[in-house]
Amino acid sequence: FELSALSYTLTTTHTMTSSSAPQSQAKFTVVEFEYSAEYPVKVEQYLAPHIVHIHAHTATNGGKIVLIGPFLNNQREENATTATGGLSIWRDATDEEITKYIETDPFVVHGLVEKWTVRPLLSMGGHQAFENDFYRMPN
C-alpha cells in the first residue's frame, strides 16, 4: 500500500460504493473527549447525571453506543474522578445522533468537557461479535 492510497480509503470509507471500497458492514465512529480544568472540581456533582445520560442513550439507541468511558491514569484506578478525558465508540450512528448525544451530555453542558473530536474508524479486527464488520481487502 501507498500511504496516500490508504489515507484516501480511511477518510472516505463512509461514502465509497464501488467494488473496490472496503467491505465493512458497519460504520464505526470514535469520539474522543478532553476534559476541562473544571472537571476535577465538578465531576462529583455531575457524574450521576452523566451516567444516567449514558444509560438512557444506550437503552434507547438500538446498540449504537458500543463502548463508552473515561481514560484512567493507571490499571488499578477504579473511579473516574482523576480522568483527563474519555472515549465513545459508535456503530452505525448518524452525525446527528452523535451530535445530539454530545450536546445534551451533562459533562458538556456544564463545562467538564473542553473539546471533543469525532473520527470515523475502519474496523479491521476485534471481538467476534463484530466479525462481519471488519475491513476486508478488495479482491
pTM of the model: 0.72
pLDDT at 26: 76
Pick the CATH number of 28-121 from 3.30.70.2190, 3.30.70.1060, 3.40.50.880, 1.10.1050.10: 3.30.70.1060
Q: Where are the domains of the chain?
A: 28-121
Tell me the three cell numbers of residue 111: 463545562
Task: Find the mean pLDDT for residues 27-53.
Answer: 94
Three-class secondary structure of residue 120 per DSSP: strand
Q: Which pLDDT score, from 0 to 100, does residue 5 have?
A: 37
Picking from 117, 130, 122, the residue whose alpha carbon sits closest to that of residue 9 is 122
